[in-house]
């Protein structure tokens, strides 16, 4: 479904080019739960950002259902991100003055039309899926850190994406809340969403269908 071929990515600052991804090739299937692991600075976040289209690679192709998404226009990329790809970060990035359900409804608001009853029901369903039924009308500040992250996951899945990218989704959580988030991601994967996750927590990589180990910008191993 997602095939990255010969990806190179560098950052430039003060005229100095830092090559961070060096000839990366990977294949992600629709049923995969992929974990990207590796030392700090090995290029994990850069890789997930390139795969999820947040960053453009310098070289290489990324085929999504046989379409090269590296050559899409910004408008086409936005469509892809709204429809098929979704992203969860280490920090939840919720709007503090909107309730949980209003935050989850945000992806429906990109066309400035009023939210429909069906969309509201979908948002409620997404919150129930992450174990937050009954807490729809709480503000983020009235939820625990783990619950806030689960609202962010509900927001990411409300439009039924095909691929969910998660960059250190448990990074700011304690073990119990981190475990809960991982369980939710596995449930979503069982329901048919491909998951691509960066994690420092080697235990969380154990139940993944693919573990990609990064080292200094190259893939050290794929298991």
β-pair partners for 213? 37, 221
Q: Are 8 and 50 in contact (CB under 8 A)?
A: no
Closer CB to ligand ATP, 11 or 97, in the complex:
11
Which two tokens mark 47? 């890789």
Two tokens, residue 107: 């992806």
CB closer to ligand ATP out of 50 and 194: 50
In the complex, least distance from residue 17 CB atom to ligand ATP, rounded to whole angstroms: 10
Asked whether position 42 contacts ligand ATP by CB under 6 A, the answer is: yes
* Residue with tokens 């961070």, as numbered in its chain: 20
Per DSSP, the three-state class of 122 is: helix
Q: Select the residue interacting with ligand ATP from 2, 4, 7, 20 (CB under 6 A).
A: 20
CB 188 within 8 A of CB 195: yes
Name residue, tokens 């806030």.
148
> What's the closest the beta carbon of residue 136 comes to ligand ATP, in angstroms?
33
Helix (H) or strand (E) holding 98: none
Considering the complex, state which of residue 140 and residue 178 has its C-beta at the smaller distance from ligand ATP. Answer: 178
Interface segment toward ligand ATP; rule CB under 6 A; list 40-48, 60-68, 143-151, 202-210: 40-48
Judged by CB under 6 A, the residue of 26, 44, 88, 108 near ligand ATP is 44
Q: Which residues bind to ligand ATP, rule: CB under 6 A?
A: 11, 13, 18, 20, 38, 40-46
């Amino acid at each position: 479904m997602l095939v990255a071929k010969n990806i190179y990515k560098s950052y430039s600052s003060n005229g100095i080019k830092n090559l961070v991804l060096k000839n990366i090739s990977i294949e992600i299937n629709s049923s995969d739960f992929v974990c990207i692991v590796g030392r700090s600075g090995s290029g994990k976040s850069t890789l997930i950002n390139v795969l999820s289209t947040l960053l453009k690679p310098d070289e290489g192709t990324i085929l999504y259902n046989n379409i090269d998404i590296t050559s899409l226009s910004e408008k086409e990329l936005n469509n892809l991100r709204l429809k098929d790809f979704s992203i969860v970060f280490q920090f939840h990035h919720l709007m503090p003055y909107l309730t949980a359900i209003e935050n989850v409804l945000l992806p429906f608001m990109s066309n400035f039309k009023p939210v429909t009853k069906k969309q509201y029901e979908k948002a409620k369903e997404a919150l129930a899926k992450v174990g937050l039924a009954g807490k729809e009308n709480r503000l983020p500040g009235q939820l625990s850190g783990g619950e806030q992250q689960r609202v962010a996951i509900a927001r990411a899945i409300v439009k039924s994406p095909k691929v969910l990218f998660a960059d250190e989704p448990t990074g700011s959580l304690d073990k119990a809340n981190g475990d809960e988030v991982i369980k939710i991601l596995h449930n979503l994967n069982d329901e048919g969403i491909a998951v691509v996750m960066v994690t420092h927590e080697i235990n969380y990589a154990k139940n993944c269908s693919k573990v990609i180990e990064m080292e200094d910008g190259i893939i050290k191993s794929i298991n």
